[in-house]
Amino acid sequence: MANAKLLILALLFLGMLGITGCPATLPPLGSPATIDRIQADHQGQSVRLVGTVTQRAMFLQGGAYQLQDESGSIWVLTQQPVPAVGDRLSIQGEITYDAIAVNGQELGEVYIDERDRQLAS
């Protein structure tokens, strides 16, 4: 019985520290998140990111660009003109996850659907 109480207390303590394996929560929309915290479980949530454009791809309408911060990089889909490589941006967008099944395995990619963009200092 004492071991069970100790186990429950340990689990509660780990839960308060956020070490239980649950997806990382994102900061409030006004505060920028780091790219490494974005997960497929966050699909549909709005997020603000600050980073530098490292790659770009043009489409017939809009395009995509890769945004990088100190924690990683992510692709951003835009309907606006694609920013230049090297631009430092503050963006707001919706986290999107697309998956396909290949040989019984799910392969997917998390990206941002851009809603707003500004040059960052």
Res 105: pLDDT = 83
Taking residue 73's Cβ as centre, other Cβ atoms within 10 Å add up to 16
When pLDDT is cut at 50, 70 and 90, the band that residue 100 belongs to is confident
pLDDT at 101 (0 to 100): 80
Q: What is the mean pLDDT of the chain?
A: 82
With a threshold of 0.85, does the pTM exceed it?
no
- pLDDT tens column, 21-50: 445 677 666 788 999 999 988 999 999 999
Q: Which of 36, 50, 72 is nearest to 119 (CA)?
A: 50
Distance of CA 71 to the CA centre of its chain: 11
Q: Is the pLDDT of residue 58 over 60?
A: yes
8 Å CB contact between 23 and 39? yes
Unique residue bearing structure tokens 């997806």: 23
- Are 50 and 90 in contact by the 8 Å Cβ rule? The answer is yes
DSSP assigned state of 80? S
